[in-house]
A = this chain, B = another copy of it.
Amino acid sequence: MVTKPIKKEFVRDRFSEVLLGRQSVRRFDSSVKIPREELQEMISEATSAPSACNLQSWHFVVVETPEGKEKAKSVLMPFNHPQLETCSAMVFVLGDTRSYLSYRDVWNKAAEEGRITPEKRDEVFKTFLPLYEHATKDFLVMDATIDSSMVAMQLMLIARAHGYETNPIAGYAADKVAATFGLDPERYVPVVAVAIGKGTEKPIDSQRYNAEELTQFI
């Protein structure tokens, strides 16, 4: 486990500009290559997202080679092929429904290293871990989906902070994604794919409902 630095210089570092200015871009400059180090850095920054019981039930498949793009193309719906063909990388975010399996080891290690007390560890082992170890598949899928959606949202924002644009994509054969990428489909559920690159089109000015119509105060 690692503790992230909380300050860093981003290319685009005005919060309002990064977040309120984010819009989907579907055509990218295909000549732009983002170094693996930077892609990994963006993913690492995105994992500052919260997760249920800090289980971090997410997994990332970064598609960036011609071979990888061929695999991704076989699962993506045709209207999402242009993003795949032009983006620098497409990050498939999958939920890990068995993230709890490694959690016992992680907490044991933390206790051994003195980062938490054995009592705190035992409390965790007695309270929430059994919830996961005895959970239904539906519960685990839901939990992993929420964690993964949040980390994907952060990834889209961080990509903008790095000077890139994104398009979140759900139009794929969900039942084929994990196996296509060599992952156990019983364990990993696809949640969203994020195309990342330098935008070459003006984004569509997509509108939103007036939020007041969707909000109730009690």
Contact = CB atoms under 8 A, between A and B. Distances in A.
Interface in A41-79: 43-45, 47-50, 52, 54, 56, 58-65, 67-68, 71
Interface in A5-39: 5-10, 12-22, 24, 36, 39
A161 interface: yes
Interface centre among A20, A40, A65, A158, by most chain B C-beta atoms within 10 angstroms, is A20
Range class of the A interface residue count: 35 or more
Contacts of A192: 146
Contacts of A24: 50
The A contact surface, by secondary structure, is mixed
A129 interface: no
A3 B204 CA distance: 11
Contacts of A206: 54
A135 interface: no
Q: How many identical chains are in the complex?
A: 2
A207 B1 contact: yes
A210 B47 CA distance: 9
A9 B17 CA distance: 10
Interface in A204-218: 205-212, 214-218
B216 A62 contact: yes
A178 to B, nearest CB: 12
The 10 closest A-B pairs by CB, nearest first: A149-B149, A1-B207, A68-B218, A44-B211, A153-B153, A6-B21, A150-B153, A60-B215, A15-B15, A146-B149
Interface of A: 1-10, 12-22, 24, 36, 39-40, 43-45, 47-50, 52, 54, 56, 58-65, 67-68, 71, 96, 106, 142-143, 145-146, 149-150, 152-154, 156-158, 161, 168, 170, 181, 191-192, 205-212, 214-218
24 contacts: A1-B209, A2-B210, A6-B17, A7-B16, A7-B20, A8-B20, A13-B14, A13-B16, A15-B18, A15-B157, A19-B45, A19-B48, A24-B50, A44-B210, A49-B153, A56-B208, A60-B215, A61-B215, A61-B218, A67-B218, A71-B218, A143-B170, A150-B152, A181-B216
